C-alpha cells in the first residue's frame, strides 16, 4: 500500500508476520504512523471503540544517523538506549518521566543551554525485551531527535545559527554513565509514543557521518542494506 511518502508491505519472515513501512523524515510523520498503527491494532473500526484486549506491537526503526562521538566511527551501527527529543512532539500529549529521566533532562538543559524558548526536551527509553537481542556490533547511547536537518543539527548554508555550540555541547554531555551517541529525526517520537501506547520499540541507526571527525561513509546505501540484512536475521530469531 502507498499514500504520499508512506509505503508499506506485509509478508512473512520465516513464520513471523512482518510489516515494513517507510515513514518519511521527522517526528511529525512518526506521529501519524505510530498513532495509525496503534489504531489498526487496538481500535474497532466498526464501533470506533477501543478494544478491551490491547495488542502490543514490536516496532523497530532502521535508519541513518550522524555520530556525535569520535569513538563511534562511520560505517558502524548504533542501538538507541534512549530517544531524547528537542522536537516538542511529546509535549502535546500527557506524558511522564521517571525521577532519573527528570534529573537527566535537567542536566541536559543545563549543559546544552537549550532553554525553553527553543525546546522543551523529553526522553523515553527503548524496549529492554528487544534491546537484549541487538548486541555485539551495536554501539549504544542516547539518540537526540532534532526538529530539522540543517539548523537544528548545526548545519550551515546561508543562515546563521542561534545555537552555534549545540553540536559540541551534545558531544560533551554526560550524566552518570550516559552519553549522547548520535542525532537524527525520529527516535524520540517512536520511543515516547510507543511507550505511552504500550508497544515495544527499538531504533537502529547506520552511521553515515561522524560529525566530530568530519568523516563520511563512502557508500551509505550499502551500509543501510547491511544493517537491514543484519536486523532481519536477528528479528527472524526473536
Pairwise CA distance, residues 224 & 205, whole Å:
8
Determine what percent of the chain is predicted with pLDDT higher than 90.
94
Other beta carbons less than 10 A from residue 187's beta carbon = 32
Report d(CA 24, CA 4) in Å as an integer: 9
pLDDT tens column, 46-64: 999 999 999 999 999 999 9
* Residue 67 in this model has a pLDDT that exceeds 90: yes
Question: What pTM did the predictor assign?
Answer: 0.95
List pLDDT tens digits, range 97-153: 999 999 999 999 999 998 788 999 999 999 999 999 999 999 999 999 999 999 999
Q: Would you say residue 3 has pLDDT above 90?
A: no
Residue 115 confidence (pLDDT): 78
Nearest-CA neighbor of 33 among 63, 62, 59? 59
The confidence score (pLDDT) of residue 110 equals: 94
- pLDDT tens column, 31-46: 999 999 999 999 999 9
Tell me the domains of the chain and their CATH numbers: 58-237 (3.40.50.1580)
> What distance in Å separates the CA atoms of residue 80 and residue 83, rounded to the nearest whole number?
7
What percentage of the chain carries pLDDT values higher than 70? Answer: 100
Give the pairing type, strands 215-216 and 178-184: unpaired
Say what the pLDDT of residue 199 is: 98
- Please answer whether residues 165 and 204 qualify as being in contact, where contact means their C-beta atoms are separated by less than 8 angstroms: no
179: left (phi over 0), alpha (psi -120 to 50) or beta: beta
pLDDT tens by residue, 15-34 = 999 999 999 999 999 999 99
Do residues 8 and 17 lie in contact, with contact meaning Cβ atoms separated by under 8 Å? no
The string over 198-231, giving b where at least 16 C-beta atoms fall within 10 Å of a residue's C-beta and e elsewhere, is ebbbbbbbbbbbbbbeeeebeebeebbeebeebb
Amino acid at each position: 500500500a502507498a499514500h504520499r511518502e508512506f509505503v508499506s508491505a506485509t509478508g512473512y519472515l520465516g513464520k513471523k508476520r512482518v510489516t515494513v513501512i517507510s515513514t518519511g523524515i521527522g517526528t511529525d510523520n512518526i506521529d501519524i504512523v505510530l498513532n495509525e498503527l496503534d489504531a489498526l491494532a487496538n481500535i474497532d473500526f466498526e464501533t470506533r471503540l477501543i478494544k478491551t484486549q490491547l495488542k502490543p506491537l514490536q516496532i523497530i526503526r532502521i535508519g541513518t544517523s550522524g555520530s556525535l562521538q569520535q569513538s563511534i566511527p562511520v560505517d558502524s551501527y548504533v542501538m538507541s538506549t534512549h530517544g531524547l527529543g528537542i522536537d516538542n512532539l511529546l509535549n502535546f500529549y500527557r506524558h511522564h518521566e521517571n525521577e532519573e529521566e527528570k534529573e537527566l533532562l535537567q542536566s541536559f538543559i543545563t549543559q546544552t543551554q537549550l532553554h525553553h524558548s527553543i525546546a522543551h526536551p523529553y526522553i523515553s527509553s527503548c524496549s529492554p525485551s528487544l534491546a537484549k537481542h541487538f548486541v555485539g556490533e551495536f554501539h549504544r547511547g542516547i539518540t537526540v531527535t532534532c526538529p530539522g536537518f540543517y539548523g537544528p543539527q548545526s548545519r550551515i548554508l546561508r543562515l546563521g545559527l542561534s545555537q552555534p555550540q549545540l553540536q559540541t555541547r551534545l558531544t560533551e554531555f554526560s550524566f552518570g554513565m550516559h552519553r549522547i551517541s548520535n542525532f537524527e529525526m525520529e527516535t524520540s517520537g517512536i520511543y515516547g509514543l510507543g511507550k505511552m501506547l504500550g508497544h515495544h520499540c527499538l531504533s537502529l541507526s547506520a552511521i553515515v557521518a561522524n560529525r566530530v571527525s568530519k568523516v563520511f561513509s563512502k557508500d551509505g546505501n550499502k551500509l543501510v542494506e547491511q544493517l537491514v540484512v543484519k536486523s532481519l536475521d536477528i528479528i527472524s530469531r526473536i
